[in-house]
Structure 1
Amino acid sequence: MNSGFGFKLVLLASAVVPHMAFAQTSDVGEPAAASAPDLSGEIVVTAQRRSERLQDIPASISALDSERLQAAGVVDISNIAPRIPGFYAGGFGASRPQLYIRGIGTRQFDPGSESSVGVFVDESYLGRTGGVLGTLKDIERVEVLKGPQGTLYGRNTIAGAINVITKGPTSTLSAEAEAGAGNYNSYDLFGAVSGPIAGDALKGRIAGWRSYRRGYVTNLTTGNHAQGLDNYGGRLRFEINPASNLKIDLIGEIMRDTGPSFQGESVGSTLNPNGILLGKATLVVPRTGDRYKQPYTTDTDYNRHVDAVTAKVQLETELADIVSVTSYRKMKYSDDRDFDNTVFDVIRQISVEDSKQFSQELRLVSNEDGALSFGGALNWILGVYYYDDKSYHQDTFDFGADSVVGEGGLDTTFGNYRTKSLAFFGQATIDITSTLNFTAGARYTEDRKRADLGGTTTDARPLVPAPFLQRNPEKKFTSFDPRFTLAWQPTRDLNFYASYGTGFKSGGYQYTPLSAAQAALVFDPEEIKAYEVGVKSVFLDGAVRANAGAFRYDYSNLQVSRVTLLPDGTTPSLITNAGKSRIEGGELDLTVTPMRSLELSLGYAYTKARYLDYVAGALDFSDTRMVRAPKHSVNLGAQYTAEIDDNNDLTFRVDYAYLSKFFHEPGQAEIRFGSTIPLTAESGYGLANARITYRMGDWKLSGWVQNLGDVDYRRTVLALPGQVINIYGQPRTWGFTLNWSI
């Protein structure tokens, strides 16, 4: 490992003040919205499948608790990214997120492929990418685990994992409510009630929410709006304690999204700013000069239904705890939009997906006081995991009068997918001395996949040349992923660690194949070898916390999705494997609390991510930068609380997040890779948020602004042959929120 810069970060953090002590609030230094930082507080996480103090875990983990989520105005997982060093989130909308941790991620969203960042809600894996961006309401905390999590979390966590833990029932009656309003006709309603139903034997919690925001992109043709939010949902939880050593958690959740989907601005290419994929060559795209106001042929329409049930059973025995997590999740969505994103009637795309997933995990977790723990010197976990997903995805391309086909052309691609996965895993930590411990773990995974892919056409062009149906035989992918960690903790507040582990992301099938030959193409699994060293430290009786790490990833068969123009004239979206890649970097997470009323935080990540060997047809991307991996990302936060009296205070909070230049497409914006590639570079930008909260006993009144500087930036781009479509991020938004809780 030769990332000298990253190692300097580790040395800096460990040498700041050699003899200090440091308390926790959260691993990213985000303070509560309406109260001064609690220097005595400890945050406990379950990232390693058992409850542990965050600073004791020898791994890079960040966490946001419920107060910090509320203070940040978090709507979904993508809002967390600017508060976590090395975490990037973009995408086309709720059904097409793009999550990247330390330069590793994916923009694939179909059932044939899967995310590189695993998202878990109450230990239930969200297998379909279209369902991971749910509204984060009534949340206890969110944990972000960086680096491959192959041992305890398994496949498709090659970049990391995100744990969302919802609030559970309480032993006493409690309630909370929230109402807010802001610009773009936005409003937000939330309520929750929790408490005992039959004493400690049965407790319950029910929560519901409704969020609306008019879209910030205007269709000048119709006057309607895209890029909005229209969501409602609810969650019901029961905690059953039939015996002192038995606990049963039952969780049911629904989520509904409707209204307009995403829309962007067509900017053509460097050779032809009027370029439109499959549009007539004579078309001239009108320019409005306002990226948020564009004429489109049709309005977008989006609908998503998600239903989920999770059952968690925990039985404590003298030797070990037996934990069972059973989950069933169903999702349907449809997405209808003007694909060419212009005033011309070229292509309309209608996407539909229907998926059902079942998972079962069974774990044995050592009891610290049990005989098999040898007086607490050995902690271990053994488990088995099963996953089954059935999905159907279809895309319909409806060609209009301004297309090269002419009005009435209709092409359809579709696929039936089935994924079954079985894994066995285990991990053990042994105390070599009172301050030195060693952890070894491994996971064996076996995925079995199959896909029947097809297409239809009305005119034998321009996308699907002829009807086809390709029935792919079952494909098996296997992986053995070990992990080793050595940790030295000389004091409670100083923790050094070094780790090595591997990760695995399953192979799969294509998204929109346009022929049987393309449908038969299977891409290989990704593999990673990860090295990391780090330190977690607490100084000055909790006034300073400095966590740092350095890492290196050796990557094989990175899966890259590109819309490609083939010699036969078709333009499929194909996934291919980049031969080898390397990522090196370092991170620093610093929180300083010079007084109880003031907290300052700094997060910094340096990432050097390059393709070492990546040839795609006639293009050689070797020795170019990887996509969505800015070299520098900075997160700054400051909070000051002025106490008025025992029940009243005023809190001021500002946050700033900066990303240096990065690229949405391979080729680092060089014209030699195509006429659209120079338009896919994203200049560095920074986003600032501010919030003022006045607390009056059980009430809180907040005024907030997101994107304070009204900065223009792109959430992502769609790079097509001869055409780039920009999907812009949210402009300045502001509003007021009233909270009440008992």
Structure 2
Amino acid sequence: MSFTRTFVRGLLCASVAIPAAAMAQAASNSAPDPAAETFGAGEIVVTAQRRAERLQDIPATISALDADALAKSGVLDITNVAPRVPGFYAGGFGASRPQLYIRGIGTRQFDPGSESSVGVFVDESYLGRTGAVLGALKDIERVEVLKGPQGTLYGRNTIGGAINVLTKAPTDELSAEFEGTYGNYDYIDVFGAISGPIAGDVLKARAALWHSKRDGYVTNLTTGNRPQGLDNWGGRLRFEINPSDNVKIDLIGEIMRDKGRSFQGESIGNVLDPTNTLLGNANDGQQTLSDNPYKQYYTTDPAFDRNIDSFTGKVDIDLGGASFVSVTSYRKMKYTDDRDFDNTSNDVIRQITAERSKQFTQEFRLVSDPNGSLSLGGLVDWIVGVYYYHDKSFHSDTFDFGPDSIVGEGGVDVTFGNYKTTSTAVFGQATFHITPTLDLTLGGRYTEDRKRAQLGGTTTDALPLVPANFLVDNPKVKFTSFDPKITLSYRPNRDLNLYATYSQGFKSGGYQYTPLTATQAGLIFQPEEIDAYEVGVKSVWGGGLARVNAAAFYYDYKNLQVSTVVQLPDGSTPSLITNAGTSEIKGAELEVSLEPVKGLTFNAAYAYTDAKYDRYLGPPTAAFPSGADFGGTRMVRAPKHSLNLSGEYVLPIGDESDVTFRADYSYISKFYHEPGEGQLAYGTTIPLTVEDGYGLLNARITYNMGGFYASVWGRNITDKLYRRTILALPGQVINLYGEPQTYGITIGYKY
């Protein structure tokens, strides 16, 4: 009998075992409510290891931003979190194509045939499709960033790290909050939430609604319109049900509608010809150019439309000695993204991307009570569980050629794929308290992924991109992995934690993105693997006046999945994903928090990352028939140095009022958007893919009086010009710039 069949039967048996009242509904936190924990003033409590624990007690590198920190930092989505977590880089092409990298490990693949290297979880639900990752961070309790592979306790594909987002739970007493913001670019943001008991302690609820709208900071000089804007609205309804003292049920439903967050940039060609355009004709040199990066000429305005509906349910049953936890999730997403692909005044290519997906996940786990009989008198804390994931997706890209292309007006190429992914896993972790100060943690996860894909393409022009119609029904593939973890932690006292850990990580293989031929459609890339070593220290000084955490790590990273757009000897330009070889990543990180006097806090965090390809032979090209050798060069999107500094001072001006002054500065050193370290030997576009180091400064002043508050804020207040990412095509580079200076005022009230 196959593992999958056994697992599914186990799911059914476990489902029957759940009491009827609990089976009909589900919840959100297996561990006790962190808000109810009293670990001491200034302590940070997280649930990163599926329990409520002090951040300082966890033998791992974790950065956490609570609701207050998120609000004061002006965080809108996960890309705004990254500058506040050294070693974490976030870029991307609009809302549907994020690029998340932690300690140099990330991905540029966006289609359902591949996986993300950094897992994103919302209320313990894994976001399997990258197109759903960059949603609005509204009514959020906490964001936790875990660095390194997290295979033992987390769902899928966390080879680089995990981002754990927790929404706000219903409150014991009636509460409400309302907020409105107005800023430049006609930015309008309204938010409201109400929470409290409906039937005493048995039923509580929380409802939140929001709408954000802003004109784009990019102007299309052809039409006068402003793409790259924001138009997002959504809502979340959450219930907490306590039918008895030992059963807790959470139900979370959310909808989100998003328009306008497509992307357009500045085409800069290559070092030999700044007007060169992929598949452009002799009119390349006749472009209408602009020297303002934020004001460009495009043939058409981009259009983006995304709908996301999700449900998460969690049941937590206290069995006496252990808790049984069930987490069920269903997510549905669809989006279309229509843009001027060549990003020039010439009418060369228009690309229309469409994707739709349905995802279901189910996790059952048994969590020991530290004070219960199954912990053997407090000698061992353990978690065991099973996990199931199913995703069915369709993705297509339509390339509509204009009169300035080599194909000519009326040519249309389409690539598409139907994908099905099923993943099953069993996992467990146990922490043995060898002595009152020495802990040994052993964990492991066995994963089995099964995938199928039908990939095809159609053409009207018999020229690249798609030279001929094709349809390939790929056979089902299976990828398996066992990923262990071992950690030794020494805590001589409450304020000092020394640890060393070893873990393995796994990222599933898959299918090609936008294959142009039947041969390319049949190319399957294999899984990535990593061996990760880390040592660290967490410490508190002066009775809580200072917190100093440090870590050093080493990764042996194998079978890297690398995505590049290449021009093959036959003239085609596919985006090929290959297992490029191996790399070595090592580095160190330091985080310091100080509160020298009441009301004055300073935070500093620094990361050093040395990430290089040991062996990386790129796909064959016209210039390199045998493949370009990138061995010894730095990995992409892995700045050697990253730094974050922040300071806050609260000035009391009355019994119930104060003024808070806050500033934060983030810096990353030079890095590379494409492999090759900017060397011309690797191609005429490579020198244009170097990103010089840059820093971003944000500031906020807030007046608080009781529940009322008003803030004046600015982001990127020095108006630093930087590239959020680039699109590197054969012979053409397109710059996608980050947000310029933005500023505004926010007024709100909390009851």
- Normalization by structure 2: what TM-score? 0.93
CA drift of 1:646 comes to 2.0
The residue number in structure 2 matching 1:149 is: 150
**8 Å contact kept, 2:195–2:206:** yes
CA distance in 2 between partners of 1:542 and 1:260 (Å): 43
The amino acid of 1:720's aligned partner reads L
2:721 pairs with 1:712: yes
1:34-433 aligned within 5 A: 40-259=41-260, 261-284=262-285, 285-433=287-435
Alignment partners' CA distance in 2, 1:309 and 1:739 = 29
Tell me if the contact between 1:578 and 1:611 (Cα under 8 Å) persists in the aligned partners: no
Contact 1:703–1:736 (Cα < 8 Å) also in 2: yes
Decide which of 520, 523, 540 is 2:522's aligned counterpart.
Answer: 520
What is the identity, as a one-letter code, of the residue corresponding to 2:686? I
Correspondence for 2:734 among 713, 720, 725 = 725
In the alignment, does 2:469 pair up with 1:467? yes
* Cα deviation code 1:111-154 (max 9, x no counterpart): 01111000000000000000011100000000110000011114
CA contact (8 A) 1:225 1:260 kept: no
Q: SS of the residue aligned with 2:199?
A: coil
Q: 1:456 aligns with which of 455, 458, 465?
A: 458
CA distance in 2 between counterparts of 1:382 and 1:315 reads: 15
1: distance between equivalents of 2:80 and 2:377? Answer: 43
Within 2, Cα distance between the matches of 1:481 and 1:646?
Answer: 55
| Structure 1 unaligned blocks of 5 or more | 1-37
SS in 1 for 2:540: strand
For 1:516 and 1:316, the matched residues in 2 are separated by 54
Question: 2:684 maps to what in 1?
Answer: 675
Secondary structure of the residue aligned to 1:496 is: strand
Task: Work out which of the residue numbers 510, 513, 516 in structure 2 matches 1:511.
Answer: 513
Amino acid corresponding to residue 378 of structure 2 in structure 1: G
AA at the equivalent of 1:608: D
Cα separation, 1, equivalents of 2:205 and 2:649:
36
| Preserved CA contact (<8 Å) 2:178 2:191 | yes
Report the Cα offset of residue 107 of structure 1.
Answer: 1.3
Contact 2:126 2:155 in 1 (8 A): no
CA distance in 2, matches of 1:669, 1:385: 43
Aligned equivalents of 1:499 and 1:633: distance in 2?
A: 24
Residue 370 of structure 1: how far off its partner (Å)? 1.9
Cα distance in 2 for residues equivalent to 1:256 and 1:622: 44
CA distance in 2, matches of 1:166, 1:295: 41
Structure 2 residue runs of 5 or longer lacking an equivalent are 1-38, 621-626
Give the Cα–Cα distance (whole angstroms) in 2 for the partners of residues 538 and 578 of structure 1.
43
SS in 1 for 2:663: strand
CA deviations on 1:57-99 (whole Å, 9 max, x unpaired) are 0000110000110001110011000111111100111100100
**Counterparts of 1:627 and 1:312, CA distance in 2:** 39
Deviation at 1:155, TM superposition (A): 2.9
SS of equivalent to 1:473: strand
Query: Following the alignment from structure 1 to structure 2, what is the Cα–Cα distance between the partners of residues 286 and 678?
Result: 24
Aligned mates of 2:377, 2:248 — CA distance in 1? 25
SS at the partner of 1:225? coil
In structure 1, what residue type is equivalent to 2:692?
S
1:515 and 1:309 map into 2 onto residues whose CA distance is 38
Q: Counterpart amino acid of 1:145?
A: L
What is aligned with 1:540? Answer: 542
2:657 to 644, 648, 670: 648
Residue 489 of structure 1: CA displacement?
A: 0.4
Instruction: Tell me the equivalent position of 1:8.
Output: none
Task: Tell me the residue number matched to 1:10.
Answer: none
Q: CA deviation at 1:371?
A: 1.6
Counterparts of 2:204 and 2:284, CA distance in 1: 64
Question: Which residue of 568, 571, 586 corresponds with 1:584?
Answer: 586
Other structure's SS at 1:446 match:
strand
Structure 2 residue 490 is matched with structure 1 residue 481: no
Partner in structure 2 of residue 14 of structure 1: none
Shift of 1:259: 2.6
1:603 alignment partner, one of 602, 605, 621: 605
- Offset at 1:460? 0.7
Q: Any idea what the Cα deviations from partners look like across 1:683-707, whole Å, max 9, x if unmatched?
A: 0000000000000111110000000
In structure 2, relative to structure 1, the CA distance for the partners of 1:260 and 1:171 (3 Å cut) is closer
The residue type equivalent to 2:736 in the other structure is I
Q: CA deviation at 1:286?
A: 2.9
Kept after mapping to 2: 8 A contact 1:39/1:542: no
Evaluate the alpha carbon distance shift between residue 702 and residue 39 of structure 1 in structure 2; reply closer, same or farther with a 3 A threshold.
farther
How large is the Cα RMSD of the aligned pairs? 0.9
Q: Tell me, yes or no, if the aligned pair for 1:144 and 1:160 is still in contact at 8 Å.
A: yes
Shift of 1:261: 1.6
- The share of aligned pairs that are identical, in percent, is 68
AA matched with 1:688: L
Distance in 2 between residues matched to 1:693 and 1:567, nearest whole Å: 60
Q: In structure 1, what is the equivalent of residue 495 of structure 2?
A: 493
Contact 1:698 1:741 in 2 (8 A): yes
Deviation for aligned residue 1:568:
1.0
Compute the displacement of 1:106 (Å): 0.7
Alpha-carbon distance between aligned partners in 2 of 1:141 and 1:42, rounded to the nearest angstrom:
14
C-alpha distance in 2 between matches for 1:122 and 1:376: 28
TM-fit CA distance, 1:465? 0.6
Deviation string for 1:32-54 (max 9, x for gaps)?
Answer: xxxxxx98132211100111111
Whole-angstrom CA distance in 2 between matches of 1:281 and 1:383: 61
Select the residue among 698, 701, 713 that pairs with 2:710: 701
Distance 2:658 2:131 in 1: 41
1:70 is paired with a residue of what secondary structure? helix
Task: Tell whether the 8 Å contact from 1:39 to 1:543 is kept in structure 2 after alignment.
Answer: no
SS in 2 for 1:472: strand
Secondary structure (helix, strand or coil) at the match of 1:625 reads coil
8 Å CA contact 2:94–2:261 kept in 1: the answer is no
User: Does the 8 A contact of 1:154 with 1:445 survive in 2?
Assistant: no
Does structure 2 conserve the Cα–Cα contact (< 8 Å) formed by 1:689 and 1:706?
yes
2:684 matches 1:686: no
Deviation string, structure 1 residues 435-465 (Cα, Å, up to 9, x no partner): 0000000000000001000000001112101
Instruction: For 2:744 and 2:326, locate their aligned partners in 1 and report how far apart those are by CA, in whole Å.
Output: 43
**Helix, strand or coil for the counterpart of 2:582?**
strand
Question: How many residues are paired up?
Answer: 705
Q: What is the SS of the residue equivalent to 1:403?
A: coil
Which piece of structure 1 moves more, 590-599 or 465-474?
590-599
State which of 435, 439, 442 in structure 1 corresponds to 2:441: 439
Matches for 1:546-561 after TM superposition, within 5 Å: 546-561=548-563
Kept in 2, the 8 Å contact 1:155–1:503? The answer is: no
Q: Which amino acid aligns with 1:530?
A: A
SS in 1 for 2:284: coil
